[in-house]
Each structure stands twice: as C-alpha cells, then as structure tokens.
C-alpha cells in the first residue's frame, strides 16, 4: 500500500509539472504573438524589424507613441524627407525634456555608425561626452522652453573609423556635432516639450569657394597669423594687414558674446562653428559671415616658448552669408522649413 501511495503521488507530481510546462509554453507563445504584432506595427523596414529583440520592440514602440502625439497634424508627403535630409547634410534628432531620444532619422548611421534603432529610446546623456552634459542640460531646462533658437556644439560617440568602417561601441570615438533647432510642445493628456534638432558633424576639411569664402590661420587668442588672398575681395584688407590683429577687432560689438562662445568651444572641443556674426569691411560697413574652425598642432619644426609641448593653432574657413547690399544666403532659410517637414513625414512611410 505504501508503494502504491508513493507511485500515485509521483504520477500526480509529474502530471502537475507537465501542466505547468504546457502553461508556460502557451504563455510564451501568446507573448511572442503579441510582440510579433507590436513589432509589425512599427514604421520600420522588414529587414530591420526581423532583428529586434523584445526590449527593443518595447523601447521603440514607446518612442513612436510619444512622437505620434507630437506629430498629430502630419500631412506632408514622405518622398520629400530625403530631399530635406540631403539639404541639411546631417540627421534629425528629437529629444524629450528628460533627455530621451524620441526619434532620429535613419541616415544617422552615415554620420555616427550607430543605427536609428540602436539609439532611439536611450538617454542622450549615455552617448554625449561627460564634459558636454551641462551644455545639453542647460538646453533642456524648463526655464529655456520657449521658441528661442537652440544652437550649440557637443561631442557624441561615433563607431565610425577614419576609413569609414564601423567598430563596436566600446571602441567608439568622439565626433563633434553642431546642433540647431527649436522647442516644440507635445499634445496629449500629459503635455510635455521636446527639442527638434538638426545635427551636422563639423567637417575637418572645407571647399574654398573663390567668390565668398576665405581661409585663415590664428593663434589660440584668435590673432591672425596667416590669411588667404580671397579676403581682399571680401573685406578689402590685404593678408599682411590682418596678421597680428585679433578677430575681435573686426567683429561687431553686439556679436562679441557669440564669438566668445565659439572661442570657448574651440578650446574645449577642438572644433566649433561661430554662428552668424558681422565682420568689419575696410572703409566702413559690415558683412555677415560664419566661421568653421578646428584646433590643430602647429608645424613639427615649431616649438613653444618653454619647449615643453607642441604649440597649437586654429585653422578657420569663413563663409560670407550676406553682402552689404543684402544678398542673403538661402541655406539658413531652408533649415527652419526642413526640420519640421522631416519629422512630420515619419509616419507617412
């Protein structure tokens, strides 16, 4: 009787385990079906959806739900998005007030090596250089939520090598981005705000356009040490007249703050864009310009005064945006139109 009782209990135990296994199997099957349905709803290519794991599906779904609330009135054609991205020469990023990356355009991999799905839903502070966290934080503070234009420079992780190959995230380097855009209010039951930004990597080389561009070389205090002959046709000065003069002597008084911020970015990030400022023309008047600069080591033969380290210099390319007679560069006008149009086209794919 004892043996029969033991056998009966064992069968009951084994039967209970089988029922539990079957219930778990059914639960996993239902869960997989739900995640599969949710994944198919994401506005992504099938080749991208096939490689998403469950946490990624949830992360991306939450991003698109929040973004849909922002873009309720999207009506533009999706085909236009590629044209706008080409004009901007960068990628679009939407950042919530908490720093979450709600959206990035799918061409982000061309500039950072990281794909759209790898970045969306993550916090921007996880990818920004620690020294630039305060820069991002100041642009995300509630006190700054207004229609004022945002224009700042940050360093972000990039897995692209100099040869254009992609490496893993642990070996990522820092790429300097110029971020421009505005704040937008998100509609919905719990209104919030986000930043719509266009992000352009600062190039290490520029094409000099004879009619409206000149190159220059500066000390770290922004004094000219060398200048391109094209400056004569733009500002009226000869290159020799500019050597030894500071760029602050040539800028409009009201643009000094803009240049100071640009100068500080050069010291801390080695690359920077000045934004629009006015330069004094010989004989009177100003022209609107923008300077793209990078800090590089001086020639090998030169030495610093104490001989301790190799001196640095600033290489700068300055573009004329407006001449005295009012000929305006249309590139900046395209920016404000394109940033809204691209984001509104997200859900029309």
> What is the separation, in whole angstroms, between the first and last Cα of the chain?
72
Separation between Cα atoms, residue 51 and residue 29, nearest integer Å: 18
List average pLDDT for each run of 10 residues in the chain, which is 349 residues long: 52 66 82 82 80 85 79 54 69 88 88 88 92 87 65 88 77 87 69 81 62 87 91 89 92 91 89 89 89 79 53 87 51 43 47
Final residue of a structural domain among 201, 226, 248: 201
Q: Give residue 205's pLDDT.
A: 54
Does residue 347 belong to any structural domain of this protein?
no
* Residue of 243, 98, 118, 225 lying closest to 172 (CA atoms): 118
Q: Are residues 197 and 65 in the same domain?
A: yes
Separation between Cα atoms, residue 179 and residue 199, nearest integer Å: 5
Separation between Cα atoms, residue 263 and residue 272, nearest integer Å: 8
Q: Give residue 28's pLDDT.
A: 83
Q: Give residue 55's pLDDT.
A: 86
Q: Are residues 289 and 193 in the same domain?
A: no
Count of structural domains within the chain: 3
Does residue 31 belong to any structural domain of this protein?
yes
Does residue 244 belong to any structural domain of this protein?
yes
Q: Are residues 248 and 145 in the same domain?
A: no
Q: Give residue 9's pLDDT.
A: 56
Give CA separation, 79 vs 48, 51, 317, in Å: 20, 26, 34
Does residue 264 belong to any structural domain of this protein?
yes
| Domain CATH number, residue 158 | 3.30.450.20
Which residues form the domain of 7?
Answer: 2-41
Does residue 16 belong to any structural domain of this protein?
yes
């Amino acid at each position: 009787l004892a043996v029969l009782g033991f056998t009966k209990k064992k069968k009951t135990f084994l039967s209970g385990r089988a029922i539990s296994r079957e219930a778990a199997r059914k639960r996993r099957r239902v869960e997989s079906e739900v995640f599969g349905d949710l994944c198919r709803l994401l506005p992504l290519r099938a080749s991208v959806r096939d490689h998403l794991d469950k946490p990624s599906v949830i992360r991306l779904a939450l991003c698109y739900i929040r973004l849909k609330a922002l873009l309720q009135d999207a009506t533009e054609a999706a085909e236009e998005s590629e044209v706008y991205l080409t004009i901007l020469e960068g990628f679009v990023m939407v950042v919530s007030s908490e720093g979450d990356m709600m959206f990035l355009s799918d061409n982000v991999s061309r500039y950072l090596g990281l794909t759209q799905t790898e970045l969306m839903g993550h916090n921007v502070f996880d990818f920004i250089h620690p020294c630039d966290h305060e820069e991002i934080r100041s642009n995300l503070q509630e006190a700054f939520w207004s229609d004022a234009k945002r224009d700042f420079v940050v360093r972000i992780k990039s897995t692209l090598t100099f040869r254009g190959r992609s490496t893993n995230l642990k070996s990522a380097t820092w790429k300097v981005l110029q971020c421009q855009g505005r704040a937008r209010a998100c509609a919905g039951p719990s209104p919030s705000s986000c930043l719509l930004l266009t992000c352009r990597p600062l190039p290490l080389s520029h094409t000099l356009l004879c009619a409206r561009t000149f190159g220059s070389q500066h000390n770290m205090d922004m004094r000219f040490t060398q200048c391109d002959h094209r400056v004569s046709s733009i500002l009226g000065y000869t290159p020799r007249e500019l050597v030894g003069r500071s760029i602050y002597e040539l800028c409009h008084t009201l643009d000094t703050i803009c240049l100071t911020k640009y100068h500080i970015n050069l010291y801390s990030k080695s690359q920077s864009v000045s934004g629009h400022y006015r330069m004094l023309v010989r004989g009177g008047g100003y022209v609107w310009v923008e300077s793209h600069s990078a800090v590089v080591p001086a020639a090998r033969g030169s030495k610093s005064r104490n001989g301790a380290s190799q001196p640095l210099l600033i290489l700068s390319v300055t573009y004329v945006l407006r001449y005295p007679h009012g000929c305006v560069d249309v590139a900046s006008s395209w920016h404000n139109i394109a940033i809204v149009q691209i984001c509104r086209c997200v859900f029309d794919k």
